[in-house]
Each structure stands twice: as C-alpha cells, then as structure tokens.
Chains A and B, each alone.
Chain A
C-alpha cells in the first residue's frame, strides 16, 4: 500500500512544482505551492500508518502553518495587485540587478 501512496503523493508534488515553474500568475503559483504542501501532508499520513501517529501530528502543524502562510501570501498578492493592477510575475521584477 505504501508504494502506491507514495507514488500518488510524488505525482501530486511534481504537478505542484511544474505548476510553480510554468505559470506566470501569482495566484496559480500560490495554489500550486499549496498543492505541494498537501502532497507532503499525504506523505506524512501514509507513513504514519507504518511508523506511528507522529506523522499525523506533523500534518496538523503543517496545515496550521500553511493556513497562516496562505493568509500572509494572499494579503501580499492583494497588496501587489492594488499597487500594480497585475499579478503577472513577468511584470513584477523590481529587484532586477
């Protein structure tokens, strides 16, 4: 069972990574990051079945932190949108050297 679970989570994670890499829209990238976190959470759950409940405790922590992060991240994206009228990352490159 474990191999199938891990294959699933790996697939989810890679979808998230590829999404982050290929998309230009900050909201979509943000959602892809959440997808990666969820994939990790699934991994923890899968492992907890074999190695005890510690994995589930981690999941709770990760969800808490990701919720907080989502709040901050969304706030930033909204602030950027108000400022620049866009959330396209191609147009947001103030830190270019």
Chain B
C-alpha cells in the first residue's frame, strides 16, 4: 500500500513503532469504505414500483412530524390503507445493514487492539505517522499526518465504540426508511471525519475533520429534507458553525504568524515562545474558543443544537450528543498547553461554560418535546465540560466527555425507542398527534420496560447520583473548580476586574445550581414519559410495544457502560473509603498529554483536604437527590393535559418555554437586518446597480463605443485609404530621417 510505504519514510522512533498502531490509518479508512459502498447503494432508486393512485395525499405534517421514520416513507413506498404491516424496505437495505455497522465494529476492534498496544508500550510522546505532504508553501509545511497519543486514543475508542452501538441501533430505527443506505453512508462518512478530527497531527488536518463533521451534521439534520423545517435546521447548524470556524481559522493564522508551526508536537515545543499570559496567546485561545463555542453549542452559538433535533434520533445521539459536539472540548484539551498559558482565556471558557450550563438547564425545565429536553441537557452538560477544561482540569473535562457520551447516547437512543413506539402506535390509527411530545406519552413503563429501566439509569447518572458514571465525572469537575479557587494561576488572575478566586467560587455555585436543575428536568422528563396514566390515546395504547432486540441491545450495552463508566477515573477520596480498584486511571493515562499543562495551572497549590472533598461530594449528591425528590413531589403526571388540550404557559414560565425568545431576538437583531442589508444594499445597489449596471453593462457599452468609432474610420472610399497610407508612409519616413 502506498500509505504504508509513505508512513515508514518518516516514522520517528516511538514506543509504538512496529506495533499494530502502524495500522492506524485503517481506522478512518474503514468507515470511508463503508461510506463509498453505502453511497453507491443509495444511488439505487428508493422507489418500489408504480405509485398506487389510491395512495392518500400527504398529510400536512404536524409540528413534531419531523421525526417520522415510518409514516411518510411507507406512503412514499406505496403502502395503502391497512397495508402497513407489509414492510417496504430499500432493496439494498440488507447489505447496508451489514456494511454500515460492520465497518464501525471492525474499526472498534482495531482501535481496541491499538489501545492494548498502547497500554503495553506506555509511549511518552505522540506517535506521528506522516503520509504525504499536503501544503508545502514556503515556511508553511503541512503534512497529511495522523497522530496517536493517549488523548486521541480515548476519543477514538468513544467514537468507534459508541458509534458502533448507535449504528446497530439505527438498523432497527431506520428499518423502513427509503433512504436507508444514504443514512448509513452519511453516518459512516461522519465517523470518518470524526476520526480524522481526533487523529489529525496538526490544526489544519484537525480542521479538515472539523469541517467534515459539520458537513455530515448538516446532511443528517436535513436527512428528511422533504420537510422544509428540517432542511432549514440543517442550514442553521451550518451557518452558525461558520461563525465559530472563522474564530478557529483566525486562531490558526495567529498561531502560524507567531510561532510558525501548526502541528501539535511543534506547538507544544514552541508554545513557550508566545510568552505565558501574553496578549497573543490569549487572543489565540479566545479565537479558538469561539470555534469551540460554535461546534460545541455554547453561548452565544448554541442556538443550532436544539434545532438539530430535526434529524433522525440516532443522529442526535451520535453527532449531537456523544461525539461531534464534544469536539470543542477535545480541541481545548488538545490545546491545553496554550490555554494553560492564558488564565484570562481559561477563565472565559469556564465562565461561558458555567453560564451555558445553567442557561440551558433552565430552558430544559419547560420543554415538552422529549428530544428538545435532551438537546438542552446536552448543551448544559457541554457547558460542564467547558467548565472542566476551562479551569485547567483537562482530565475531568475529558472524563465527563466520555461518561456523557455513554449516558447521553443512552438517553437519546432510549428516546428513539420511545418515539419509535409512539410513532408506530400513531401510525396504526393514522393519528396526526405529535409522537415526540411528552404530553402525549405517560405510563410507557408498562409497554417499554427495558427502555424505561435503562433510561432511569442514565437519568440518575446525569443527575449525579452515585455510583453511576455521571456522578464521578461531574463531581470531579466541581471538585476541580473548588480546588482551583483555593489556589492556582487562575485564582490569582483577574477576569474583567473580578478576582479569579471569587469568580471560580461563583462558577462552582452555578455548577451546583445547574446540577440541581439537571436532576429536576431529567426526572420531569422521565415522570412525564414513563409514569402516570397513558395519554397516548385509547386506540393507540394497544399498539405500543418495546423495540426489537437490535435496538434494545445497544441500549443495554450503553446502560452497562453508564453504570461502570465511573471506574475510569475513581477519585482517591472514594478509593480510600471503599476497595473499588485503582484510582485516577484516566488521569494517569492522559498525563503524558495534559499533565504539564494541568500542573502549570495548578501551580503547585496544595491538594484540597480529604474532609473538605468529602463534604463537597456529599453536598453535590444531596443537591441532586433534592432535585429528584422535588420533581417527584411537585410534578403531577396524573393531571397533565394532552398536547391538544394544553394551554400555553404565561409569565416567566412562558418566557422559559419559549427559550427566552433568543431565536426571535437573533432574528430581529441579526437575521432581519442581514436580509434588509442584503436586499436593499447588496442586491439592489451593489449587485444590480454597481456590478450589473456599471461593470457589466458599462464594459459592454465601452466596447460598443470603441467599435462605433472604429467603424467610422472605415469609409469604404479607396481614395481616403490611399491618403492614410501615404500620410503614414511619409510620417514613418520622416521619423526615420529626422531621428
């Protein structure tokens, strides 16, 4: 193979040379292969024969009909009347179901083997494989190269592992969709780009993956593009992300202009040249954070993520919860060496993260669409991760990223299972009710027992109840914030005139409050979905059923991971009390990558005493339990009206239910002025007036004018031609003679 031979050219001496890690290029290539195969299969028409003239006309979709895997497509396939038990699948669906998840499973197996090689080799430096020179321009030497270190290994395992589970789930969820191979093609392409993102050895290569996952996100949000709302949601995600990407690009330019390198190894080596705390490093970090805010849905660029729920639920689970949106957290952890040099930028990250966490949590309290609750919950949890990486606790941020991938994927897939059941029930009775609205659910635990139990596990995990994964990671972030407030470079810095330590205590308080709200809104979601009376409808109730094993299987695996994920990084304060195994596994694992940066932020401050730490942990758990109890006491699923009987909320509740009118505000402040400027100035004046009127028509008129003058000279009279000739000859002779 070309790739292999090229790789051996430069392979530096590394502990991983000669091991299975040499094959790491295969990790992204496998999903790419899946993309090619599924993409080719999807070129085959999805129509199954002539349309039946008796097919009922398309119903106007209700608000939530974005999530309509079976209904609209079964109709497209020509299913009529009572005929909906006949499954109409894409003719290549069988092959797609093997190739799509298959490549991911292979990738995961390979990733696990590479991980094992890494465990044995203990590489202290990143293992870089250079494949070819991508942009050799003067001083700018960018290679298409992959880098393997502990940080990217964690991401690779999460992406391929959780990705494989979600692919398997999709086999059941998308079963009757006419775009089945296209769906898997996009999913595989997404995984390819995501792996490029985490394996890229330089910022530009990372950026390729960064943009690629954005593209796949756009394609998958608008997967059911027949509905304009879905296509618009895709565009919104794409456009909002462009703002962030602008920041990322500027950060790269600044980095290159100041230290002349863009690969991670080079940046770590030369970062000191920027000067700790200098304006340049702060600017680089802030611009980079703008990129992260776009990709990871932080204030003010979070607005695209709730709309992104228009995509199929597995997409929400994989892209908009578990992997892509965490790319910002990864980027900051990857750039830890830069962020640790700029306390101001780090504090900004933490402040924005904390604000996002609490802001999104409050919106989550009043959402009725089950996926919207989870979307705001994701934004809130991402805020948590940014608090972690912002305060220089890069390991904690990554730890929360991993556990969040487990439990949020579980929650999303669980909601997918619920929606699947609801949808099938409404489809049976041709009801136009909203299959995603919790007011139409209730009492589903009788019909979806497995989903219910697993989603409860995930709910407890996200709320921070021990011993589930979320408890450990969330707690570690809060503990780190507290510890940094006690003593660190951040505590001694100041942010907009606020002393760092006070700011960190505030962030800690906000984090606790967000945890409290998280417990409330998650319990609310579970209560309204699974408990109380069934509000689905008497006729529909008979058709509710648990999802097939191909969907519940991945849920069970994710459930186990959600329970066990905390073992990745048990805090010492726990292992001292209970014999649970080794502590701080992830911290030690990531130490070669982020250890120095963390140490720079900590700046030798002493550990928080174990008693204080125990108190903090206890307090956090009490707050989470209080939230859950409060939700149980205050919420009455028995009295909840169905969606069609519901009255809109008033006052502050109404404001929250309408997401603080942020979208409307942005419409008024940005979108409408942009339209106005585009229409009146750019279009009418610049385009029609200046470009069309002056340049295009003007140059034509100029040419015509010259032509007119030229044609006047051609009189057709030979005598005049002769005169011109003679005068010309005389002029030339004169010129030569007089010279």
* With known contacts A89-B719, A90-B717, A97-B716, A17–B710 Cβ distance under 8 A: no
Q: Are A93 and B716 in contact (CB under 8 A)?
A: yes
Q: Are B714 and A97 in contact (CB under 8 A)?
A: yes
Nearest A-chain residue to B723, judged by Cβ: A21
Q: Are A97 and B712 in contact (CB under 8 A)?
A: yes
Q: Are A21 and B726 in contact (CB under 8 A)?
A: yes
In the complex, B718 has a CB within 8 A of chain A: yes
**In the assembly, what is the distance between CA of A93 and CA of B720, in Å?**
11
In the complex, A59 has a CB within 8 A of chain B: no
Nearest B-chain residue to A33, judged by Cβ: B722
The residues in B between 684 and 739 inclusive whose CB is less than 8 angstroms from any CB of A are: 710-719, 722-723, 726
**In the assembly, what is the distance between CA of A50 and CA of B726, in Å?**
30
Q: Are A89 and B717 in contact (CB under 8 A)?
A: yes
**In the assembly, what is the distance between CA of A24 and CA of B722, in Å?**
12
* With known contacts A17-B726, A97-B710, A24–B719 Cβ distance under 8 A: yes
In the complex, A71 has a CB within 8 A of chain B: no
Nearest B-chain residue to A26, judged by Cβ: B718
Q: By the criterion of a CB under 8 Å from any partner CB, how many residues of chain A are at the interface?
A: 13
Nearest B-chain residue to A17, judged by Cβ: B726
A-side contacts of B717, CB under 8 Å? 89-90, 93, 96
**In the assembly, what is the distance between CA of A94 and CA of B714, in Å?**
10
Chain B nearest CB, measured from A87 CB (Å): 11
In the complex, A92 has a CB within 8 A of chain B: yes
Chain B nearest CB, measured from A29 CB (Å): 8
Q: Are B722 and A93 in contact (CB under 8 A)?
A: no
B-side contacts of A24, CB under 8 Å? 719
**In the assembly, what is the distance between CA of A78 and CA of B726, in Å?**
26
In the complex, A3 has a CB within 8 A of chain B: no
Nearest A-chain residue to B730, judged by Cβ: A17
B-side contacts of A42, CB under 8 Å? none
Find A94's partner among B712, B716, B722 (CB 8 Å cutoff).
Answer: B716
Nearest A-chain residue to B708, judged by Cβ: A97
Chain B nearest CB, measured from A14 CB (Å): 10
Q: Are B715 and A97 in contact (CB under 8 A)?
A: yes
Find B722's partner among A20, A95, A97 (CB 8 Å cutoff).
Answer: A20
The residues in A between 72 and 93 inclusive whose CB is less than 8 angstroms from any CB of B are: 89-90, 92-93
Chain A nearest CB, measured from B732 CB (Å): 15
**In the assembly, what is the distance between CA of A62 and CA of B717, in Å?**
28
B-side contacts of A97, CB under 8 Å? 710-716
A-contact bits for B488-527, CB 8 A (1 contact / 0 none): 0000000000000000000000000000000000000000
Q: Are A95 and B714 in contact (CB under 8 A)?
A: yes
* With known contacts A21-B719, A89-B719, A96–B714 Cβ distance under 8 A: yes
A-side contacts of B723, CB under 8 Å? 21
B-side contacts of A20, CB under 8 Å? 722
B-side contacts of A17, CB under 8 Å? 726
**In the assembly, what is the distance between CA of A89 and CA of B723, in Å?**
14
Find A89's partner among B710, B714, B718, B726 (CB 8 Å cutoff).
Answer: B718
Chain B nearest CB, measured from A45 CB (Å): 23
Q: Are B714 and A92 in contact (CB under 8 A)?
A: no
B-side contacts of A92, CB under 8 Å? 716, 718
Find B716's partner among A21, A29, A95 (CB 8 Å cutoff).
Answer: A95
The residues in A between 26 and 78 inclusive whose CB is less than 8 angstroms from any CB of B are: 29
B-side contacts of A21, CB under 8 Å? 719, 722-723, 726
Nearest B-chain residue to A95, judged by Cβ: B716
B-side contacts of A90, CB under 8 Å? 717, 719
Residue positions of A touching B, CB distance < 8 A: 17, 20-21, 24, 29, 89-90, 92-97
Nearest 8 interchain pairs by C-beta: A93-B716, A96-B716, A97-B714, A97-B711, A95-B716, A89-B718, A93-B717, A96-B715
A-B contacts, 23 of them at CB < 8 A, read: A17-B726, A21-B719, A21-B723, A21-B726, A24-B719, A89-B718, A89-B719, A90-B719, A92-B716, A92-B718, A93-B715, A93-B716, A93-B717, A94-B716, A95-B714, A95-B716, A96-B714, A96-B715, A96-B716, A96-B717, A97-B711, A97-B712, A97-B716
